Amino acid sequence: MTAVILATACAAVYGTADFLGGLATRRAQVFAVVVLSQAAGLVLALALLPVLPGTPTLATLTWGAASGISGALAVLLFYRALATGVMSVVAPITATVSAVLPVLFGLAVGERPSPVALGGVVLALLAVLLVSRSSSEETSSGGYRSVLASVAAGAGFGGFFILLAQVPEGGGIWPLIGARVASVAAIGLLALAAGRTLRPAPGALTFILGAGILDMVANVLFMLAQQRGMLSLVGVLVSLYPASTLLLARQVLGERLNTVQVVGVGFTLGAVALIASG
């Protein structure tokens, strides 16, 4: 029960962080948003060392760094998709893909989900097809690119969950410190290579810092949850985060979906719920 509570809280915090990150990318370049938000998360992780002490072994830092690179690339793609697409479509697609991967990984290592969970995987694939359908004015190449970026981001987030779950016990907050150091370095180098500025646009810094801090809080909750429960369960519960993103997008931005997308979003959330219940 503790793992379920932690994972559910993690989902709520992730969704809020993604909403703030999406708002930030509509005001600033995505590289600046990702690097600065990840740096803010690193500062918080260092501040949490006295609360979550551990031993920084090579395995702990290596798995953490690998998960950090996967997560950073996912955030980069996800924020770009949020900036160019509809927030209440991008978030569920990303969540569905990130929910399916831990289940597939569990199957590969010997876990056997119930028929209900497998039914959720099938429903998730159908949901991606439905939620990707757009009205004629949204079927531009930009709309399709945001869908593809959402799928790739989901794969990156799923990889983050899987890789972080491989960290040996006793690492404390060190895996997340390793993850953040690697992610800031990797995305920072990409930004330099692409000639992109890391200076935030006016009015974006508050959203950037909020997204980074909340994202680290969510990462801590996920790490604690997966230490207390099965990855195939925790991973899909965490992937319920679009619920809070959708609520904020609807209330703050007034986003509306067409009928097919509404059905797709419903199937997406239903799929995640089925996978979790299995």
Along the chain (278 residues), what's the average pLDDT of each consecutive run of 10 residues?
A: 82 89 84 91 95 93 95 85 72 80 84 78 74 51 74 92 91 95 92 86 90 95 88 79 75 74 78 72
Give the CA distances from residue 132 to residues 30, 37, 139, 268, 272, in Å, rounded to whole numbers and listed in that order.
Answer: 23, 28, 9, 11, 17
- The pLDDT of residue 77 is 87
With a pLDDT cut of 70, the percent of the chain lying above it is 90
Domain that holds residue 183: 2-277
Task: Give the residue among 133, 91, 96 at the shortest CA–CA distance from 274.
Answer: 96
Give the CA distances from residue 125 to residues 15, 64, 92, 114, 165, in Å, rounded to whole numbers and listed in that order.
Answer: 21, 29, 12, 18, 24
Residue type, 5: I
Cα gap 15→247, rounded to integer Å:
9
Contact between 88 and 106 under an 8 Å Cβ cutoff? The reply is no
Q: How many alpha carbons fall within 13 Å on the CB side of residue 257?
A: 23
What's the pTM value of the predicted model, to 2 decimals? 0.81
Number of domains the chain is built from: 1
- The pLDDT of residue 138 is 47
- The pLDDT of residue 59 is 95
- The pLDDT of residue 56 is 92
- The pLDDT of residue 215 is 93
Cα gap 235→57, rounded to integer Å:
25
Compute the C-alpha angle 210/215/216, nearest 5°.
105
- The pLDDT of residue 218 is 95
- Spell out the alpha helix ranges (H) of 109-172: 115-131, 141-164
- The pLDDT of residue 137 is 45
